[in-house]
Amino acid sequence: MRRSARIVAAVAVLFLVVVGVSGFALFKLYTRPGPLAAEATVIVPKGASVAEIAVSLREAGVITSSLAFRGAARLTPVPMQAGEYRFPPHTSLQTTLSMLRSGETVKRRLTVPEGMTSRQVVMLLNEAEGLTGEVVAPPVEGALLPETYNYAWGDSRAEMIRRMAQAMAATIDELWAARDPAIPLSSPQDAVILASIVEKETGIAGERPRVAAVFLNRLRLGMKLQADPTVAYAVYGGSKVGAPLTLTDLQYPSPYNTYAVTGLPPGPIANPGRASLAAVLQPATTNELYFVADGSGGHAFARTLDEHQRNVARWRKANERIGVN
C-alpha cells in the first residue's frame, strides 16, 4: 500500500509539473513579441469568424499560427469587433486579441475645406478610402459644415453627410443666438447665404468681419451686393475659380447674380465655415461700402465711390506692371 501511495503521489507531482510547464509555455506564447517586422494594417469585415480573422492575421504576418490564435481566442470568448486595425511591429498574441476585442480601430480623417459646394463635398466623400455606399444627389447648398471629421473603415458616406449637416445646424444655432442684433438679417438661412459669399470673397481670416460689414452696409442701404462669386455660381455653378468674369457674365440673368438683383441671392453659393458665419453675425464696425483686390492677396476698402475708384485704378496699374490682363 505504501508503494502504491508513493507511485500515485509521484504521478500526481509529475502531472502538476507537466501542467505547470505547459501552462508556462502557453503563457510565454501568449505574451511574447509576435513575428511582425513592420507595421501592418488588417481589415476585419463585419461578421468574420475567428478562423477567418486568424487567416487574415497570419497572412499579414501578425501571428505565426492560426491554431494558437484560435485557441487563445476560445479561452476568453469575448467577441472581436470589425474594422481596420494597424498593428505595430512585434505585437504579441495577447495585445492582438486585446485590440480586436476593444475595437482599437484606425481613426481616419477627412477634411472638408471651407467654401466647397455641396457637389464638391460629395465628390470628396465618394473618393475617400474606406467609406461605404455612394451619395448620388448632393445636399442643398450651405447645409454642410466644412471641418475635419474622423471616421473608421466601413462607415457610410450617408452617415458622414448626416454628421456634417448636424454640425452645421448646431453651429449656426449657436452663432445666431449670439448675433449682433443690429445686423439686417432676418433668419439663420440669411446668415448662411451671406457667409457663403464672404467665404468666397476672401481667404484672409482677418478680413472676413470687414468684408461682411461691407455687404451688411449695402443691404441696409438697399444697394446691390455686386459680389463676383455669386455671378460665378450663377453662370458656372461655382466651378470657375480664379479666372476673371466677363461683361457677359455680369449680365447673366439669374436670381443668384447680385449685379442684376438687389438683396441676397435665394440660397447659399457654397458651404461656409464657422469663421465666415461668425464674421457675418459679429461683423466689424465700419461704414465702408466697397472693396477691391489690392494685388497682395488682400483687399483695399473704401467708404466712398471716389475712394473706391482710386483703389481700382491702383489695382489696374499694379496689374499692368506685372503683365496681368
Q: With bands split at pLDDT 50, 70 and 90, how would you rate the model's confidence at 20?
A: very low
| Cβ partners under 8 Å of residue 95, min gap 6 | none
Residue whose C-alpha is closest to residue 134's, from 116, 109, 160 = 160
SS3 percent helix, strand, coil of the chain, rounded to 5, is 50, 10, 40
Instruction: Render pLDDT for 124-175 as a digit per residue (tens, 0 to 9).
Output: 999 999 999 988 889 999 999 999 999 999 999 999 999 999 999 999 999 9
Grid cell at residue 218 = 449695402
Instruction: Render pLDDT for 54-113 as a digit per residue (tens, 0 to 9).
Output: 999 999 999 998 999 998 898 877 899 999 999 999 999 999 999 999 998 999 999 999
Residue % of the chain over a pLDDT of 70: 87
DSSP string, 40-102: EEEEE-TT--HHHHHHHHHHHTS-S-HHHHHHHHHHS-PPPPPEEEEEPTT--HHHHHHHHHH
Question: How many residues appear in the chain?
Answer: 325
Check: CB of residue 217 under 8 Å from CB of residue 304: no
Instruction: Render pLDDT for 26-62 as a digit per residue (tens, 0 to 9).
Output: 555 678 898 999 999 999 998 899 999 999 999 999 9
Q: With bands split at pLDDT 50, 70 and 90, how would you rate the model's confidence at 194?
A: very high
- Whole-number pLDDT of residue 107: 93
Q: What CATH topology corresponds to 27-102?
A: Dna Ligase; domain 1 (3.30.1490)
Sorted by where each begins, the domain ranges of the chain are 27-102, 108-166, 180-321
Tell me the HSE value of 319 on the side-chain side, using a 13 A CA sphere: 14
Rounded Cα distance between 234 and 211, Å, is: 21
Q: Which residues of 198-223 are buried (b: 16+ CB within 10 A; e: fewer)?
A: bbbbbeeeebbbbbbbbbbbbbeeee
